[in-house]
Structures are given as C-alpha cells and as structure tokens.
Homo-oligomer: A and B are copies of this chain.
C-alpha cells in the first residue's frame, strides 16, 4: 500500500491507496497556508498515521509515500522549490516528513500527480496520455509510456502557459495570451460577467441574484434554458478550451486526452463541441484519432496519482 498526499492552497488531503489505485481511507485538514512548511508537514504526518490506523493497518504495510504539490518541485531532491500560494522556498519536504515517518518519499507537481492518477484509472498502458485541468488556473500533465513527463528540470507540462492569443491578455506568469487567461474557470467567470453586462435582459442576472455569485456554472446552466447571452458565453469559452486541446493533440497525438477540474463536471455540454473542434482541426487526417474524455477521479486524482507515482519511483 501507498500513502498519497494532495497538498493544496486550501486543504491537505491524504489517502491510503492500494496497489490498484483504490483509496482505502482518506482524510483532510485545512492547509492554513500562512504557516511555516514544518507545521504543514506535521499535519501531513498526522493525517498519514490516521488513515493507516483507521484502515486497521500499520506503517509496515506502507511501502512509500507520494505527495503532489502546487508550484515547482525538485523530484530528485524531494523539495518544493517554489509555490506562490505557500510559504515554501527550496523546502525539504521529503526530509522533514521522514522525521515522522521513515519511508521513501516521492514529490510531484500536483497537476502531474493528478494526470498520473487519471492515467492509472483508465487501467491500460498507453503510449501518450495528456491531462488538462480547468480550475482557478489551467494545469497540465503528460504521461509518456507510463511515466510522468517532467522535463529535464522538473518544470515541464505547463500547457496552461502556452499562448493562444498573440499579444493577448497578460498572464500572472508574465507571458501574453496564455491559455490560462482564456480557458480557466477564473477566465470563464470574467467572460460571463462581461457578456452579462452587455445583455441586461439575460436570465443570467436572475441566476446571479438567486445564487449570490457568478460561477463557472452560470453560463452553462442558463445556456441549457436557451438564454442567448449564456449560449454565447458558454460557446466562446469552449472554443478557447478546444483551441488549447487542439494544439496539444497536434503536438502529442496522445492515445487519450483527459479534461479535468470542476468545469469538466458539465460533461457532454463541454466534451462534445470540444471533440468536434479538435477532430476538425487535427493535422492527422489519415491515422487513428486521439480519444478525448472527461476525468474519472476528479478530486481523488491527486491522492491516487501521488501514491502510485511513489510506487513507480525510480
């Protein structure tokens, strides 16, 4: 068995995961991101011990621990090099956690870990597999021949930071026109708000009054009711997402492309127009096509992927 830790800006989630990627027991606690990394690691260790004990197991049953972290990680040195939401700067997380639990520890970028979890959930070997998560930002993970692709420095697979609009909106990373500025849920909310402002009669205004907020669901739900402005907001957004996926398909021709993150729960409303666009814009016109799917594990992908990447550790 393996322990998987999904470190997020809001919560630390820990799960005990079996060899097949099934979560036996999981628990979480608030990250309280202003804390020193040593305090955060103390909580990780506590949760690890909890899920093992509550599963009726002992630490002897655990072969290794895997963690997924936001930001830049140094897999070979067990460090979180930089994470803009956490107080981590070349923080030796693996060594710190080993003070509490003496097991081999593997640290991955969180999107890479989630990608690996989704890959494992498919249950078969694939030559190429690409995962894109649509959340506050746009994250990515690339699995080649069953291995997480990290780049030579561990900072690879940032597919949200490829530009799709030349000289477009300035991204938080400093680059202009990044996919993240158009295809994240943050972007969808801004796009929805702009179209609402231009369409005072849209039913999205009633939706907002009822829910108190504009969310990633506003446009999707009101579009289902036939609201023209909502349909425009939804379809523009989907076009941006599809553009990013189309680019990745022309580069990787992966056997499978999986879309995750909260917005992927919209299912076929999101998936079907993406498939149509990506296949219509595929450079490959003569060979089998990439399968495009919605994620299976959603929030559990990080725990499962981190745990099984530790199993797969070099």
Partner of A174, one of B82, B140, B164, B281: B281
Q: Please determine whether A126 and B155 come into contact, CB atoms closer than 8 angstroms.
A: no
Near B by CB (< 8 A), chain A positions 133-157 give: 140, 142, 144, 149-157
> Could you say which of A22-30, A58-66, A203-211, A251-259 contacts chain B?
A251-259
Number of copies of this kind of chain in the complex: 2
| CB closest residue in chain B, given A90 | B286
Contact with B along A249-289 (1 / 0, CB 8 A): 01111110000000000000000000000001101111111
- Given the complex of chains A and B, what is the CA–CA distance between A158 and B285 in angstroms? 13
B247 touches A157 (CB 8 A): no
Q: A72 at the A/B interface (Cβ < 8 Å)? A: yes
Within 8 A of B (CB), among A63-98: 72, 74, 81-82
Stretch at the interface among A165-173, A227-235, A300-308: A165-173
CB distance from A312 to the nearest CB of B (A): 15
What residues of B have a CB within 8 angstroms of the CB of A283 in the complex? 155, 158, 161, 173, 175
Contact yes or no, A246 B175, CB < 8 A: yes
Interface check A243, CB cutoff 8 A: yes
Residues of B within 8 A of A290 (CB): 152
Q: Contact check: which of B151, B174, B253, B289 meets A253 at CB < 8 Å?
A: B151
Minimum CB–CB distance from A97 to chain B (whole Å) comes to: 21
- In the complex formed, the residue of B with least CB distance to A179 is B247
Partner of A156, one of B72, B128, B240, B243: B128
Q: For this complex, into which size category does the number of interface residues on chain A fall? A: 35 or more
Contact B151 A254 (CB under 8 A): yes
A127 at the interface (CB under 8 A from B): yes
Q: Bound state CA distance, A287 and B252, in angstroms? A: 24
Contact of A243 with B174 in the complex, beta carbons under 8 Å: no
**B255→A156 contact, CB < 8 A:** no
Q: Provide the residues of chain B in CB contact with A289, threshold 8 Å.
A: 153
Nearest CB on B from A277, distance (A): 10
Say if the beta carbon of A159 comes within 8 Å of chain B: yes
Contact A158 B254 (CB under 8 A): no
Give bound CA distance, A152 to B165, whole Å: 28
In the assembled complex, which residues on chain B have CB atoms less than 8 Å from the CB atom of A152? 126-128, 253-255, 288, 290
Chain B residues in 8 Å Cβ range of A144: 144, 149
Report the bound CA distance from A246 to B283 in whole Å: 21
- The reply to whether B251 and A251 form a contact with Cβ atoms under 8 Å apart is yes
Cα distance A142–B128 when bound, in Å? 13
Q: Does A191 lie at the interface of the complex (its beta carbon under 8 Å from any beta carbon of B)?
A: no
Q: Quick check: is A162 within 8 A (CB to CB) of the other chain?
A: yes
> Which 10 pairs from chain A and chain B are nearest by CB?
A151-B253, A153-B287, A155-B284, A156-B253, A162-B247, A152-B255, A127-B152, A161-B283, A175-B281, A165-B166
Supply 14 A–B pairs (Cβ within 8 Å), ascending by A: A72-B284, A72-B285, A72-B286, A72-B287, A126-B152, A142-B251, A149-B252, A154-B287, A155-B286, A155-B287, A158-B250, A158-B284, A164-B164, A166-B177
